[in-house]
Amino acid sequence: MEEHELVRRSQDGDREAFTALVRNYQAKVHSLAYGFTRNDAQADDLAQDIFLKAWLGLSKFRFRSGFGTWLYRIAVNHVKDHLRKRASSREIPLQEDSVRAASRTAPPADREAGEKERRAELVRDCLAGLPEKFRMILTLRDVQGLSYEDLSRTLRLSAGTVDSRLFRARKMLRRRVESRISGERRSP
C-alpha cells in the first residue's frame, strides 16, 4: 500500500496502517536517536516516544510535505528536548573501550574489522562533540540520507543555510578527526 494511503488510514484510526508506517521508519528514527544518545536503550525509548507523538499528532498532518519529513521534524524536536534535559541534569554517558581492547588481542582478520570499528567510533566521538546544530544536520544528511530539500523542510532552514551549515559541519568534523588521529600518533 502506498504511504499516502497508509497515512490517510492512520488518520482515520487504522492502527494496522500506522504500524506499517512505523515499520517503514523505525530503523531510521532509532538510528537518528542513537546517533545522539549512543545508547541503544535510550534510542529505543526515544523512538517509541517519537512514534507516540506522531500517532497523537497525526490529525494535524496536512500532506504539505512527505510523511517522512513530518516525522523527522517530530524526531528532531524530541531529540533536541531530550538533549537539553540531559544536559541540565548533568547526565554523563558511559564510554565503552571494549572495541579498542578487543582489537589489540584479536587475530589479524579480526584486527582489521576492529580497526574499522575503531575508526567509525572515532568519527562518532568527534561528531558527538560538535555543536548541536552541526551534529543534527550531519546526522540527518550523511547518516540518515535526507535530501537537501527534506533537510530544509525538517530543520526549517533556507536551502542556502542548509548548504553552508553542511559545509561548516563537515569542515569542523574533518578537523576534529584529523586532530584526534594526529594526537593518537603522538601518544605511545
The CATH code belonging to domain 1-94 is 1.10.1740.10
Q: Would the pTM count as exceeding 0.85?
A: no
Query: For the chain, what percent of residues have pLDDT higher than 70?
Result: 85
Q: CA–CA separation, 164 vs 57, rounded Å?
A: 32
Q: What per-residue confidence (pLDDT) applies to 104?
A: 46
82, 47 contact by CB (below 8 A):
no
The per-residue pLDDT of the chain, averaged, comes to 85
* Domain limits, the chain: 1-94
The pLDDT tens digits for 127-136 are 888 998 999 9
Average pLDDT score over residue span 110-124: 78
pLDDT of 95 strictly over 80: no
pLDDT of 109 strictly over 80: no
Q: What per-residue confidence (pLDDT) applies to 99?
A: 40
- Among 3-17, 52-66, 138-152, 153-167, the range scoring the smallest mean pLDDT is 138-152
Q: CA–CA separation, 154 vs 146, rounded Å?
A: 9
Average pLDDT score over residue span 14-41: 92
Q: What per-residue confidence (pLDDT) applies to 43?
A: 92
Q: CA–CA separation, 174 vs 162, rounded Å?
A: 18
The 10 Å Cβ neighbour count of residue 22 is 19
Residue given cell 529505543 in the structure block: 44
